[in-house]
């Protein structure tokens, strides 16, 4: 009997060991894998967040850029990583579009959805020397010479591409009126437009505000309900007569390999939430016109599923093959 009791106690101790180990998480640096090249909005935000997460959890969050294949390179890294909390990844609305097009080997439930970080509005920017002064100018030029305008952005089927298609639809432009030119990141698209290799770009406030202040670029419209404080002189699309759906914004979040322990997901999400409340992150959000849209691992999967359904419906409406 005594032998059986000792054996039972030993089994109980062994069963508890993994949980004790996880209580010390993280015990080593965490890889934070991005789907974009350095310099884009997702990259900038991830690097700022990584600094705060290290403060919260005491280990470095090492940002790695794995651009290519509309997220294929990044997702390949995630799916082969151990679900132990030491590999996480960026996720955006662009991923959800890609899952319905070129990355159909993955589904929404192929990953663990750890935390939603933010939403942000899309905008249209042109070089400072451009003769396009307003959104109406761009539309008139596109109608007069279909295909002559090159619109730079992230890959076709990205959140930014869908945003442009919604803008175009509100202006009675078809998809062939403006040529969509894809780049490996929104930052690359902005750089191309700055160098006049493109006529306009779909971007975000944080990536263009310094160029605008320097007179090197001009924002001609923002897809938001109200003007943003960082660009108070720029009218919204609605103010210019274009009723594009402003509920479509860029989502930013964090995912991980499928099968991560619930306690580790909760600890990561808690650290993310606290990091977003740090004064440095709040100031960054304010400067960048980002909206804190935090959701944890209990709510984020359902929101991702909803966005997937909205994306499918939008693709059908826009005639984009699935």
CATH topology identical between 27-119+250-318 and 123-240: yes
DSSP structure string for 192-244? HHHTTSSSEEEE-HHHHHHHHHTTSEEEEEE-SSS--TTSTTSPBTGGGT---
Ranges of each domain in the chain? 27-119+250-318, 123-240
What CATH number was assigned to the domain covering residues 123-240? 3.40.190.10
* CATH value of 27-119+250-318 in 3.40.920.10, 3.90.45.10, 3.40.190.150, 3.40.1440.10: 3.40.190.150
pTM for the complete prediction?
Answer: 0.77
DSSP structure string for 72-123? HHHHHHHHHS-SSSSEEEEEEHHHHHHHTTT-TT--GGGEEEEEEEEEE--E
pLDDT 10s per residue in the chain (322 long)? 444 444 444 444 444 444 444 458 999 999 999 998 898 888 999 999 999 999 999 999 999 999 988 789 999 999 999 999 999 999 998 899 889 888 999 999 999 999 999 999 999 999 999 999 999 999 999 999 999 999 999 888 788 999 999 999 999 998 889 999 999 889 999 999 999 999 999 999 989 999 999 999 999 999 999 999 889 999 999 999 999 888 888 899 999 999 999 999 999 999 999 999 999 999 999 888 898 999 999 999 999 999 999 888 888 877 776 5
């Amino acid at each position: 009997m005594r032998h059986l009791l000792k054996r039972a106690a030993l089994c109980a101790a062994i069963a508890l060991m993994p949980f004790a180990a996880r209580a010390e998480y993280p015990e080593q640096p965490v890889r934070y894998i991005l789907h974009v090249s350095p310099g884009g909005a997702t990259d900038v935000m991830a690097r700022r967040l990584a600094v705060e997460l290290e403060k919260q959890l005491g280990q470095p969050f090492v940002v790695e850029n794995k651009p290519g294949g509309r997220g294929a390179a990044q997702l390949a890294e995630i799916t082969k990583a151990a679900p132990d909390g030491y590999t996480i990844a960026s996720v955006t609305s662009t991923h959800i579009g890609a899952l319905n097009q070129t990355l159909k080997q993955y589904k929404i439930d192929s990953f663990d959805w750890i935390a939603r970080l933010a939403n942000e509005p899309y905008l249209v920017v042109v070089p400072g020397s451009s003769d396009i002064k307003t959104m109406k100018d761009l539309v008139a030029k596109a109608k007069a010479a279909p295909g002559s305008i090159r619109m730079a952005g992230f890959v076709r089927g990205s959140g930014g591409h869908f945003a442009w298609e919604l803008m175009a639809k509100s202006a009675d432009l078809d998809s062939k009126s403006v040529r969509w030119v894809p780049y490996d990141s929104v930052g690359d698209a902005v750089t191309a437009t700055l160098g006049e290799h493109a006529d306009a770009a779909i971007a975000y406030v944080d990536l263009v505000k310094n160029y605008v202040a320097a007179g090197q670029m001009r924002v001609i419209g923002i897809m938001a309900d109200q003007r943003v404080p960082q660009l108070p002189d720029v009218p919204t699309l609605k103010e210019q007569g274009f009723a594009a759906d402003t509920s479509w914004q860029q989502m930013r979040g964090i995912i991980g390999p499928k099968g991560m322990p619930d306690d580790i997901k909760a600890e990561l999400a808690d650290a993310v939430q606290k990091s977003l409340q740090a004064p440095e992150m709040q100031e960054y959000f304010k400067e960048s016109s980002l909206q804190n849209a935090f959701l944890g691992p209990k709510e984020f999967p359902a929101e991702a599923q909803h966005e997937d359904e909205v994306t499918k419906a939008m693709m059908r409406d826009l005639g984009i093959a699935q």
